[in-house]
């Protein structure tokens, strides 16, 4: 039986929202989450897991619910087929109101006229970690089917769609893109979750969209929360991909920097990475290849391989 210890206590804090207890309220002891998963036999109806909430410049603070299969819910909303659509997927223990959703939604709506759809999958995301991992493919496939329904109902093209996921949510949007045969324009994984994903065939990967970009901020170390390995067309490793400046070596802070970096990039588009032409260049921080900006709202990016860059300690980093 495998032991997943304080790593998951940190992950609890990283993805929690205001209504959840703080880290100090959680017992500091080993937790056998695989055993917990075996005892967690309550079934969840896959069709009842996903909720979709639309935010636009017409309703920036009051979301509108979009219902898969319900054409009227789409027609009655502020969804515009002639602008870009961004879909956000939170991580473990998150929900609609988790920090990454708020920050990224506000940044996008301040930047441009866009549809922002938040996927709230909390009925499964709030189960124990292993149960949540097992359910990610179904959540992602359901999201993909919803996007297909949205496209067929409104005429919105896949070429105008960008799926963004944090931690477990990165693997969710990867599976959604795969369900759509890689037709969406872009997928961005924000520090894709690492535990139980390294050899998992359902992890986010190149081919899930026309362009797949990942931002790694807490990988490459023991007990890291992020996957730490290149899994997209382009993988950015700011500050080497772990122990982010100003985080005092805490895993949760570094993990969350991925979505904070992305939110800042929407506003400023100021993170310039350099391509690492060899593993030696990457390990010694001597990447001098072509430059490519990390993050941003650009839908149709091009590139491949690993990129490194340095950031600051405080917003906008």
Pairing of strands 161-166, 186-190: parallel
Q: Tell me which of 10, 68, 132, 191 is the catalytic residue.
A: 191
Catalytic residue chosen out of the listed positions 255, 265, 275, 296: 255
C-alpha closest to that of 44 among 161, 155, 151, 126: 126
Mark whether 167 is an active-site residue: yes
Contact 162, 187 (CB under 8 A): yes
- Mark whether 90 is an active-site residue: no
Is 162 tagged catalytic? no
Cα-based distances in Å from 150 to 179, 266, 279: 14, 25, 42
Q: Are 293 and 273 within 8 A, CB to CB? A: yes
SS3 31: strand
- In angstroms, the CA 69 to CA 43 distance is 23
What's the residue count for the chain?
Answer: 317
User: Which listed residue (10, 13, 132, 167) is catalytic?
Assistant: 167
Please tell me the distance from the alpha carbon of residue 22 to that of residue 276, in angstroms, as a whole number: 39
Task: Please list the active-site residues.
Answer: 167, 191, 255
């Amino acid at each position: 039986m495998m032991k997943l210890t304080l790593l998951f206590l940190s992950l609890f804090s990283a993805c929690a929202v205001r209504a959840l207890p703080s880290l100090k309220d959680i017992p500091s002891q080993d937790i056998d989450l695989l055993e917990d998963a075996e005892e967690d036999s309550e079934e969840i109806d896959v069709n009842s897991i996903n909720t979709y909430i639309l935010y636009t410049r017409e309703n920036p603070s009051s979301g509108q619910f979009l219902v898969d299969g319900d054409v009227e819910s789409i027609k009655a909303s502020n969804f515009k087929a002639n602008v870009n659509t961004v879909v956000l997927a939170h991580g473990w223990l998150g929900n609609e109101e988790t920090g990454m959703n708020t920050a990224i939604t506000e940044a996008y709506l301040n930047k441009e006229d866009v549809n922002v759809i938040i996927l709230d999958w909390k009925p499964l995301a709030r189960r124990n970690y292993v149960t949540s991992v097992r359910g990610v493919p179904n959540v992602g496939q359901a999201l993909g089917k919803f996007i297909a329904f949205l496209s067929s109902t409104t005429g919105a093209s896949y070429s105008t769609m960008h799926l963004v996921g944090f931690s477990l949510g990165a693997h969710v949007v990867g599976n959604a893109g795969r369900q759509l045969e890689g037709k969406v324009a872009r997928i961005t994984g924000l520090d894709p979750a690492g535990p139980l994903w390294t050899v998992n065939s359902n992890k986010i990967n190149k081919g899930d969209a026309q362009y797949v970009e990942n931002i790694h901020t807490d990988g490459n170390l023991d007990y890291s929360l992020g996957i730490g390995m290149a899994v997209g067309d382009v993988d950015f490793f700011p500050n080497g991909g772990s122990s982010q400046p100003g985080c005092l070596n805490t895993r949760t802070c570094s993990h969350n920097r991925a979505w904070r970096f992305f939110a800042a990039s929407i506003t400023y588009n100021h993170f310039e990475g350099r391509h690492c032409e060899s593993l030696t260049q990457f390990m010694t921080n001597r990447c001098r290849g072509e430059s490519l900006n990390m993050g941003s709202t650009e839908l149709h990016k091009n590139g491949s391989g690993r990129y490194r860059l340095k950031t600051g300690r405080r917003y906008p980093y």
